[in-house]
Amino acid sequence: MKTKATEDTEKIISTKIDTVINQWFQETMDKINNEIKTNTNTLEDILCPSILPLSFKYCNAALTLLNNNFKLPAMALIRILAEITLRLCWCLYGDNPQKESTDVRAQRWLKQSCKEQQKFLKKLLPSFNANKKKIDEQISYFDKKIAEIPYESAGNLYGSLDELNVNLKNDLYPLLYSTFNTAIHPDLLLLSNLIKKDKNKYTFSGDFDDIDSNNIKFYMMTCAFWIVSLVRISYKWDYNDIKAQYLEIKKIHENSTKE
């Protein structure tokens, strides 16, 4: 049984996480709108301004779900957010082995996306004879886009992490990605964990009743911290306030889990 003090601390942490996530994204998006003149001739110019509001939407949707006790659906959204985070890390990692610019990395990511979409369309062809012409046109379009990009494609997400700092691959990937795979790929292992037995009675809740929502929120805040910090670093803006807030909440959260 949780004490009143523990419950109060958890509420404070939950509110703080909600507040800082909204603050980080809103302040950084406002700064981009006020100070950056976007030139869409390069992918680099649209990467940060586009990824911020998208990530903000995922965070807000996941927070809404968590605040209404829908944990697995929120985890599914955070798993997607984690993929965005890791790809952004890959694109903006200036000390990459090839010493490539952000625009080159973005083009490699685009080439990988085109290849994956083209592969998907080719699988559709046998089942969509009525739309064969349209699908063939889309496949040809991606053929052209792939040929236009003179760099190797980024490769699958995990493989591309070899081009990151080893700590990012070994620490960030398991934390932000692997943890939430079960929400994206539900199987019998997951279903068996959703059954609770009390004496001779079984209950089927359809969610993780025994997982603390604040733990899930902390993972999401970590994604938000990385995304916003990387964008600010890319524009050579200060992010020390964001880092201080993140570390403060992290410390409070870690202390509360020890109680």
210-241 pLDDT tens trace: 888 999 999 999 999 999 999 999 999 999 99
Q: Name the nearest CA neighbour of 156 among 194, 203, 113, 217.
A: 113
Cα distances (Å, whole numbers) of residue 89 to 77, 102, 108, 133, 168: 19, 10, 14, 38, 9
At 74 the pLDDT is 96
At 2 the pLDDT is 65
Q: Name the nearest CA neighbour of 166 among 251, 101, 89, 63.
A: 89
Burial 72-92 (b: 16+ CB within 10 A, else e): bbbbbbbbbbbbbbbbbbbbb
Whether residue 35 contacts residue 8, with contact meaning beta carbons closer than 8 Å, is answered with no
pTM: 0.90
150-166 pLDDT tens trace: 999 999 888 888 888 87
90-118 pLDDT tens trace: 999 888 888 999 999 999 999 999 999 99
